[in-house]
Amino acid sequence: MKKTIKEKLEITNKESLRRRHSGNYTPIDNGEGYLLPYEVHLGNQPSKFFERLSDYDFLKPLTNGSVLTFAGLQNELKCLDDLDSGTGFWKNFNESALNMYLNPILGTTKWKQVYIKKSKETDADKPYHNDMLRCIYLLAHLHKASPSFIRQLAEENDVWSTDLRVYYPRKDFAFSEEYAGYLSELYANMLFHQPAKIRRLIKCLDVCIEKLIKHSDSDWIAPFLKHRTQDTDSPSLKILKYNQVASTTHFMALNKYMQNKVSYTFAPTSYAELEANEKDPSGLQIVATAQQYKLVAALCMRLALPNPLCEVNGSWVSEGTDPIKCRDMEICIDTVANSLAADALNQLRIESDGTKSGKRDTSLSAAIKKLAEQNPQTIEDILKIGSPDFASIPELYSFYLRKRSEYALAKARSRGDLEMSVLGHMPHRTPQAVIESMLPNPNTDKVLEYIRRNNLDKISDDIERLEHDLKMMRLREGAEPINIGLIYQYVFPFLPPRE
């Protein structure tokens, strides 16, 4: 009788999956940034834990005598059949998920022919045969938990998908938390036996892409963006790379969606009108109070600074920036509050498909109310906190707040409402420049082509060489050698608690 291996069956139950991946991230100072809670758990397991696993499990090291076959994989997956109805798992999984969504992820029209060995083929013919079978084994259990997972994994340029990420998922949106669990399972398994350089690159790839796009015209980066290497990445690494590239495209789509929503007009009296509306029983029914709008305006100002502030001699002081006079900070907060109030009075609506799966009350005003309730209740305390809590609201709303406040300050500067130099580390953009910053960077396609057309070893070598050269340059200039990397950060990162 075939032995039932329970380890992966745990993830076919959504509640078990959530528990498996709950907890806070553990910082790690090798440039990787963090360890997922389940990665820490796996690192503490005895060898017997891994010995008991299926040969098709990524976590079990392959021995020389291990022979993985496609027929053997299908036999392993019979435990996922629906015994009550007699419905087999494989046929539906193969037709509704693998054949439809795995091909675009792997960049082929025939993943089985490309990766799976036929009877007379050798390891030299199909070197990633075992890796492909292990991918299918893992994806099958995740598909059993959620038939929509692989379809969502294959999405690109989707505004809704910004709510679905491996870290800090939305707390009020069930599928967001589930999806984070699925991605955590994917990353923890596929990276478990990978070398440190690949683990670091995969986990930081979205940041790599962002920084390369921003600096792609520099003499440091432009030359290596032309590199092209032979396709030698395993299917598992391609899946993880695809997920990180797709994440970049989702935020590009979000920028495009939000361009005409952050530039609405507002007046210095908008917040006063919101307060008056609140006192008028016949006025607009706005979920959040005027004071909550003011608190969120302060949150927006706190987000603009890299570190908490403290009040010293009539100024707000933050490490790494010039002091900001308390009166100047009040003017900034009032400016942002006026812009948010004007949008409330105009009943601005921002929605995505994702809100349909969240709680019923997912309006922009409801998001502002929630933000005000889950963060400190005074402006002074908000400016002092380490990291604002935005986890329970859709990314569309937190992104709107960041860009709306940036636009509002630029607009106020342009019409003379702000005479001082506010937040010296922030770019003093014109309102039009703020909108233009949300347009696709012309170098984006160049960088994404570089990422797609090079194997991860080559990308890692390019990034490591860049980091080394920058470090040496800074050392020659007498700068501190800590936290100077363009992409990897060789210090313990600050990770807010998840729960």
| Cα angle for residues 186, 192, 194 (degrees, 5° grid) | 110
Q: What percent of the chain has pLDDT over 90?
A: 61
Q: How far apart are CA 60 and CA 391, in angstroms?
A: 34
Nearest to 376 by CA among 387, 361, 364: 387
Contacts of residue 163, defined as CB under 8 A and 6 or more positions apart, other chains included, come to: 169, 170, 173, 176, 352, 354, 394, 395, 396
Q: pLDDT tens digits for 241-282?
A: 999 999 999 999 999 999 989 999 999 999 999 999 998 888
Q: Tens digit of pLDDT for each residue in 407-465?
A: 999 998 888 776 554 544 455 678 999 999 899 888 999 999 999 999 999 999 999 99
**Nearest C-alpha neighbor of 202 from the set 492, 455, 477:** 455
**Mean pLDDT within 471-480:** 72
pTM for the model stands at 0.87
CB atoms within 10 A of CB 323: 15
Q: Calculate ∠ Cα 48-52-55, nearest 5°.
A: 125
**Band of pLDDT at residue 319, cut at 50, 70 and 90:** confident
- Residue 352, pLDDT score: 63
Rounded Cα distance between 308 and 380, Å, is 11
